[in-house]
Amino acid sequence: MDCTDLICHYLTDGIKSNTKNHVGIELEFPLVNETAPAIELSVVEPLFEAVCGIGYHVVRRDRNGVPLKAKDDGGNVFTFDTCFENIEFAMASAPDLIQIYRRFRQTLKTAQEALKPFRHAIIGVGYNPNIVKTTPHLVESELTLSIAEYFREHPVKRRFHKDFYCMVSSEQVHFNTTEEELPLIFEAFTRLGWLNILLFSDSPAHIEQKQYLCSRNELYMRSPFAEIGLVGAQKLGLKSVRDIAESYKDICIFMRERGGKTELFWPEPVGKYFESPEALPEDIHQLDLERNIVTTSYGTTEYRILCSQPFSDSFVPSAFNLGLRKKLDMTLAIAREFDGSHDMPEPNERNRQASLGAVAFADKAETAELMQRLLAVSRQGLSERGFGEETFLAPLFARAHISDNPAIRLLRRERLVGAHAAYMERADAGEDIV
């Protein structure tokens, strides 16, 4: 089997068959108990009853009958995807962000009202403050249990790494693309990953005596998945889909499906794995890539680097990046110009520095100027889309400083009211943007 061809198909088959001119959003948030570290699973049933009252239907339960996933007629999904400490709103793709946002906000407010009598809440932050104090409740899915098994085979420091899927939450935006544009989109958003981290960090945590504002990125990079190439930033300098495929050949695969079951094996680079007579072409779909930006089977590019935001800022990072994607040529020209005039480290190092709250390769004035240029481009792109989505950028224009991101604001509140109260303030849904 030609591994490069297999990876090319893995990257582009969905893109070639996608005929929708849509954008998609996925949002993950911590579910917390206001009065104790551990959540009570008894809240799950009334929570799903409430969302079913606004048009969702339970489509999956665990073996004990506990609901895990509900879906509405429009394709929007409300789910516990990995564990009961992290809930996901996977909003169906649509032509514009506005209609996605309104359904998300309706679902969020319904869920919060259902949780309130039980002193539980969903909180708008990228880090679950209670995971380190308890053991998360993993959902029963082949992928989740396989990943848990992988961690058992690759021991890690539990406090920082083992439960990071349950500990950190992200906002993911999906763009349409073409095979020709794919390398350009990968390049643009890889170059700008560090700026997105500075703007939208919302997972502050201490890791080995350092205060990270985006612990989400750092936890991924310290996980065993980083060692086998599944996480981190894309390489720069790739000019075609085939170049991307070649760059993936040293990424490891560690599971495959046989007889309806997931088999785990010692991680092996895909370039070597597909030389084995035991390998099947369909095994390529078990390559569990979670890099900064990836392609999906349903034909989009998914930008994954963003922390979940306070509810009042929901969709702000997605809108910002959607506007940049609309003006891809301008965005890429600005990013390349900036990188060419600075002594830039590799993307993963840029992101690490930004996760700590500052970068060594540019001063605050230069970074603020870059942000303002890109903000103007994003607003232009959203305005050209014609849906009024530029309204989502208002919180960015209102910022006094580039460093005034959600993580900084959360730490500021911690100093004033204490950590518990600061996190619980993030249960406030706030006013609708649109």
Model confidence over 216-226: pLDDT tens digits? 999 989 888 88
- The answer to whether residues 279 and 273 touch, using CB atoms and an 8 Å cutoff, is yes
Helix%, strand%, coil% for the chain, nearest 5: 45, 20, 30
CA 136 → CA 156, 165, 218, 357, distances in Å? 16, 10, 20, 29
φ/ψ bin of 280: left (φ > 0), alpha (ψ from -120 to 50), beta (otherwise): beta
Tokens 């779909």 belong to 285
Higher pLDDT, 299 or 343: 343
| E strand spans, 84-235 | 86-94, 120-122, 170-176, 205-207, 210-212, 231-232
- The answer to whether residues 293 and 189 touch, using CB atoms and an 8 Å cutoff, is yes
Classify each residue of 368-381 as buried b or exposed e, where b means 16 or more C-beta atoms within 10 Å of its C-beta.
eebbeebbebbbbb
Return the pLDDT at 58. Answer: 98
CA distance 279 to 288: 16
> What is the dihedral sign for C-alpha 322, 325, 326, 330?
positive
Return the pLDDT at 254. Answer: 87
- The answer to whether residues 41 and 137 touch, using CB atoms and an 8 Å cutoff, is yes
Higher pLDDT, 262 or 34: 34
Higher pLDDT, 132 or 187: 187
pLDDT by residue (tens digit) across 3-19?
Answer: 999 999 999 999 999 88
Report the percentage of the chain scoring pLDDT > 70. 94
The continuous run of DSSP H or E covering 213 comes out as none
**What average pLDDT score do residues 241-245 get?**
96
Reduced to 3 states, what is the DSSP secondary structure of residue 91?
Answer: strand
Return the pLDDT at 133. Answer: 86
Return the pLDDT at 141. Answer: 63
CA distance 8 to 245: 6
Lowest mean pLDDT among 13-27, 255-269, 374-388: 255-269
Return the pLDDT at 338. Answer: 98
Q: What residues contact 417, with CB distance under 8 A and at least 6 apart?
A: 425
Return the pLDDT at 400. Answer: 65
Report the percentage of the chain scoring pLDDT > 90. 77
Residue 283: pLDDT band (50, 70, 90) is very high
Return the pLDDT at 290. Answer: 87
Q: What integer best gives the mean pLDDT of the chain?
A: 92
Q: Is the pLDDT of residue 112 over 70?
A: yes
| Two tokens, residue 52 | 């079913």
Return the pLDDT at 129. Answer: 92
CA distance 315 to 99: 12
pLDDT by residue (tens digit) across 48-81?
Answer: 999 999 999 999 999 899 999 999 999 999 999 8
Q: Is the pLDDT of residue 212 over 90?
A: yes
- The answer to whether residues 400 and 412 touch, using CB atoms and an 8 Å cutoff, is no
Q: What residues contact 372, with CB distance under 8 A and at least 6 apart?
A: none
Residue 232: pLDDT band (50, 70, 90) is very high
**What average pLDDT score do residues 264-293 get?**
91
- The answer to whether residues 87 and 94 touch, using CB atoms and an 8 Å cutoff, is no
CA distance 163 to 60: 23
**What average pLDDT score do residues 139-147 get?**
66
**What average pLDDT score do residues 200-207 get?**
95
- State the first-to-last Cα distance of the chain, in angstroms, to the nearest integer: 51
Return the pLDDT at 158. Answer: 47
Return the pLDDT at 366. Answer: 95
Lowest mean pLDDT among 178-182, 219-223, 245-249, 375-379: 219-223
**What average pLDDT score do residues 171-183 get?**
95
- Could you tell me the domains of the chain? 3-425 (3.30.590.20)
Return the pLDDT at 157. Answer: 56
Return the number of other C-beta atoms located less than 10 Å from residue 330's C-beta: 18
Radius of gyration of the chain (CA): 21
Residue 145: pLDDT band (50, 70, 90) is low
Q: Is the pLDDT of residue 155 over 80?
A: no
**What average pLDDT score do residues 340-346 get?**
98
Return the pLDDT at 289. Answer: 86
DSSP 253-290: EEEEEETTEEEEEEEEEHHHHTTSTT--GGGGGG---E
Return the number of other C-beta atoms located less than 10 Å from residue 158's C-beta: 12
**What average pLDDT score do residues 370-394 get?**
97
Residue 132: pLDDT band (50, 70, 90) is confident
Return the number of other C-beta atoms located less than 10 Å from residue 224's C-beta: 18
CA distance 118 to 116: 5
Number of residues that this document lists for the chain: 434
CA distance 244 to 227: 19
Report pTM. Answer: 0.94
